[in-house]
Each structure stands twice: as structure tokens, then as C-alpha cells.
């Protein structure tokens, strides 16, 4: 097995510990905002869908809203393809600012959008456009943040550091969306929540974006440049003899592996973060405050466990930790079948206890994906693989879960999720044996 080791960022002194902390805050804050805004749409879909896609059947309205949810993901590969090379060859900071600005502005606009009652079908079109813009702008976010983060990680502690950026900060965004949903739902009457209070969490996302824009503006471009451009001689040769896309084609097995590592995880992530709560709120008509409270508890567990999962991966080797946790995800998918009728206690069990395994995988998948790409195309490769994995598998997950439940063939969802999870392990092992792991195992 040929594992290619590359120099760590720890061997290069960056500006100062303060600058490093500022970099971590700007990276992590952007990741948190991305996940907050993405998940707040999923969490609020049950309430906003009737306003933009009115129907006599609440489930039909919800499915239309979830279709727009999925459409945003399909714009992400294009955003990754356009912005990834810009980050790798021109400016990571520029891409970071584009991403967070578009995310915040679109969330703010969604909070102000007129509904179908006001402007007819144009309301749905405007909502779709907002989500597509967010998808385009955030297509490179994961690639940029993870590529910089792994270069800043101390040697031998890459898993722990990526657990912080790609785990804790992601869950901070998830926690924020669940907590804001819970607080708003608990503060207003159910009718008010359905009528207009669902707009408040989107407005919060827009305002938080201003803080992240400031943090990212304050990070010196030179600091990011030094973190990202310390290629060894082989990488320099790659850059001069071919472009980003030529290099990426030469590591296409790595790209396929990233897609499956990300995609199989996102099936579970969006099933638990969007599919289950929307099923609870719309199909089974559970108390929304209880639903958001349970979701908040689940995400808090994910956030607190992320650094420990990363440290576990550093100790036992990333490949072993990934294989173990990904295989545990298979029986976890089948727990969703328990929630087949109204029961807040069953929802609690499936969400919190089943979701714990999902959270452990969430803490690790960004790290694993980043190790599969050589430095010269790391941002583009991770961003494109992430965007394709999320759009093909994650964005469709809530829709599939709700639709299969309505068609009374809910058993197909865990079978589908399990097969993709198993495939991700098999392809990862093949890539590993062929020397496509570029950060020490």
C-alpha cells in the first residue's frame, strides 16, 4: 500500500496564535452558517411549504417544498466546478467571502419573500432562485474550509482538528437551526408559527452572516496563501504540466470515493435533520415545540462528541475508524422504520439514540474526504466531490423518506441508505490499497 505523506502546516509558522484562532473562527463560522441556513429551510419546510405550494393535501405541499430543498443541492456541483479552481489557483479568501455573503443575503431575502397568496406562482419561483443561488455560492465552501483546516492541523492530530471544523462547527450550525426553531415555536401560538413566525429563523441566519463576513474579511490573504501553497516538488510539477481538471482526472478514483463517502453520510444526515422532523410535523402532526426540542438535544450530542470521534480516529487510524463507524450506520438506517405512526417517544428514541451513530459519522466524514485528495487540487476535488455527493444523495433524502412513507413502502429507504453506505466502504478500501490516501494513515 502506498500512502503518500505530505508536510503538515505545523512545520510552517503562521503569523501568530491569534491569527490561527482568527482563521479557525472564520472557517468554522462560515461552515456553521452554511449548515444553519441549509438546515433551517429543512426544519421550516413543513411551515413554509403551504405558503408557496398550497394544496388540499399537506403532504403534497411538503413534498413540493422538499423538492426545492433538493434543487438547491443540485446547483452545488456547478458552484464547486466554477469556484473550486478559483480558490486553488487565485484566491481562497475571495471564494470564502462570496460563499458566506450569498448565503446570508439569500436567507434574509427568504424571510421577506411574498407568498403564493400575494404574487402567485412567482413566489415559488423566487424561493427556488434563492436556493439555487445559495447552492452555487456554497458549492466550494466545504472544499475551501476543509483544505485550509487540514493544512493548519498539527501533525498526528488531523482527525481532532477536522473534527472541530468539519464536526463541531457543522453541529453548531445544526444546533442553531434546531434551537432557533424550538425557541420560536415555544414563543408563539401554533397558528402564528404556521402563518408568519417561520420567517424569523431565516432572518436570524441573514443577521449572523454579517458577523461571519466580518471575520472572513479580517483574515489576511497572506495567511491563507501560506497555509495552502507549500506544495512539494511533485505537486509543483503537476501544476505546471497540467491544469486543475487534468490533475483531477488523474485521481478520478479519489473523486469517486469522496462522492460516496460524502453521499452516503448525507443520506443519513438529511434523513435525521430534515426527513424525520418534517414527517413528525406534517404527516404525524406531533407538537412542533417537542420536535424541535428533541432535535436540539440530538444535535447537541453530535456537537459535543465530534472532537472525541476525531481523536479516536487519530489514535486507531482514520481508515479503521471510518470503516467501523460507517458499517454501524447500516443498522441505524433501519431504526427509521420504528417511526411509522404518531408517537413522540418513538420519535425521541429514533432521533436521539439512532442519531448518535449518525453524529459519530458526521464528525469524521469531512476528514476522510479531505485525505483522499492531493494538495494541488484539494479544494476543487473536495468541493466537487462534496457537492456531487450532497446533491445526488443528501438533497433527495428527505423527499424520498416522506414519499416512500406516503406510498407505504418505507422499508426501501433504509435498504437504499445501507447499500450506499456499504459501497462507500468498499470503494474507500480499494482507493486506499491503490495509494489514494494523501495524508498519513
Mean pLDDT is lowest, of 124-138, 230-244, 359-373, 378-392, for 230-244
| pLDDT-based confidence at residue 1 (cuts at 50, 70, 90) | very low
Fold of domain 16-229+244-433:
Growth Hormone; Chain: A; (1.20.1250)
List the domain boundaries for the chain.
16-229+244-433
pLDDT band at 219 (very low <50, low <70, confident <90, very high): low
For the record, the C-alpha cell of 335 comes out as 431504526
The whole-chain average pLDDT of the chain stands at: 83
The larger pLDDT score, comparing residue 402 to residue 166, is at 402
Reported as a single tens digit per residue, the pLDDT across 2-22 is 444 444 433 334 445 656 666
Measured distance CA(345)–CA(327) in Å, rounded: 26
Give the whole-number percent of the chain exceeding pLDDT 90: 33
d(CA 25, CA 49): 34
233-270 per-position pLDDT tens digit: 344 434 443 477 888 888 899 999 999 999 999 999 88
What is each CA distance from 391 to 262, 270, 395, in whole angstroms?
A: 10, 11, 5
Residue 303 is predicted with a pLDDT of 83
* 221, pLDDT greater than 70: no
How do residues 284-308 score in pLDDT, each as one tens digit?
989 988 998 898 899 888 888 888 8
Q: What percent of the chain has pLDDT over 70?
A: 85
The residue length of the chain stands at 441
Q: Which of 86-90, 105-109, 310-314, 409-413 has the lowest mean pLDDT?
A: 86-90
Q: Are the C-beta atoms of residues 193 and 180 closer than 8 Å to each other? A: no
Task: Count CB-CB contacts under 10 A for residue 246.
Answer: 11
234 vs 174, 375, 376, CA distance in Å? Answer: 39, 10, 9
Does the pTM surpass 0.75? The reply is no
- For residue 26, what pLDDT band results from cuts at 50, 70 and 90? confident
Amino acid at each position: 500500500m502506498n500512502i503518500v505523506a505530505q508536510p503538515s502546516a505545523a512545520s510552517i509558522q503562521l503569523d501568530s496564535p491569534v491569527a490561527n484562532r482568527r482563521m479557525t473562527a472564520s472557517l468554522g463560522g462560515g461552515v456553521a452558517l452554511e449548515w444553519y441556513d441549509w438546515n433551517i429551510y429543512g426544519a421550516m419546510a413543513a411551515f413554509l411549504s403551504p405558503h408557496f405550494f398550497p394544496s388540499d393535501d399537506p403532504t403534497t405541499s411538503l413534498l413540493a417544498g422538499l423538492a426545492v430543498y433538493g434543487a438547491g443541492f443540485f446547483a452545488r456541483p456547478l458552484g464547486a466546478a466554477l469556484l473550486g479552481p478559483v480558490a486553488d489557483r487565485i484566491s481562497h479568501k475571495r471564494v470564502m467571502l462570496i460563499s458566506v455573503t450569498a448565503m446570508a443575503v439569500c436567507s434574509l431575502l427568504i424571510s421577506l419573500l411574498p407568498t403564493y397568496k400575494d404574487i402567485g406562482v412567482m413566489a415559488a419561483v423566487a424561493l427556488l432562485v434563492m436556493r439555487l443561488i445559495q447552492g452555487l455560492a456554497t458549492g466550494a465552501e466545504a472544499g475551501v474550509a476543509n483544505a485550509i483546516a487540514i493544512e493548519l492541523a498539527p501533525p498526528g492530530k488531523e482527525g481532532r482538528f477536522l473534527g472541530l471544523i468539519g464536526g463541531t462547527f457543522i453541529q453548531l450550525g445544526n444546533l442553531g437551526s434546531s434551537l432557533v426553531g424550538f425557541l420560536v415555536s415555544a414563543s408563539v401560538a401554533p397558528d402564528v408559527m404556521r402563518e408568519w413566525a417561520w420567517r424569523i429563523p431565516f432572518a436570524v441566519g441573514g443577521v449572523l452572516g454579517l458577523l461571519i463576513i466580518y471575520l472572513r474579511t479580517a483574515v489576511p490573504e497572506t495567511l491563507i496563501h501560506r497555509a495552502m501553497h507549500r506544495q512539494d516538488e511533485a505537486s509543483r510539477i503537476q501544476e505546471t504540466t497540467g491544469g486543475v481538471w487534468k490533475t483531477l482526472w488523474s485521481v478520478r478514483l479519489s473523486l469517486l470515493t469522496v462522492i460516496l463517502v460524502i453521499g452516503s453520510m448525507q443520506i443519513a444526515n438529511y434523513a435525521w435533520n430534515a426527513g424525520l422532523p418534517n414527517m413528525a410535523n406534517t404527516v404525524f402532526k406531533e407538537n412542533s415545540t417537542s420536535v424541535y426540542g428533541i432535535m436540539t438535544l440530538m444535535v447537541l450530542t453530535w456537537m459535543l462528541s465530534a472532537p472525541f470521534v476525531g481523536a479516536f480516529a487519530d489514535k486507531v487510524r482514520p481508515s479503521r475508524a471510518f470503516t467501523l463507524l460507517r458499517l454501524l450506520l447500516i443498522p441505524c438506517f433501519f431504526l427509521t422504520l420504528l417511526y411509522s405512526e404518531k408517537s413522540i417517544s418513538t420519535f425521541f428514541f429514533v432521533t436521539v439514540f439512532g442519531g448518535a451513530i449518525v453524529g459519530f459519522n458526521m464528525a469524521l466524514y469531512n476528514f476522510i474526504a479531505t485525505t483522499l485528495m492531493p494538495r494541488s487540487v484539494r479544494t476543487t476535488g473536495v468541493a466537487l466531490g462534496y457537492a456531487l455527493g450532497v446533491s445526488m444523495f443528501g438533497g433527495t433524502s428527505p423527499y424520498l423518506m416522506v414519499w416512500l412513507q406516503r406510498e407505504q413502502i418505507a422499508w426501501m429507504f433504509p435498504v437504499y441508505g445501507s447499500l450506499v453506505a456499504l459501497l462507500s466502504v468498499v470503494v474507500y478500501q480499494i482507493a486506499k490499497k491503490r495509494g489514494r490516501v494523501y495524508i498519513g494513515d
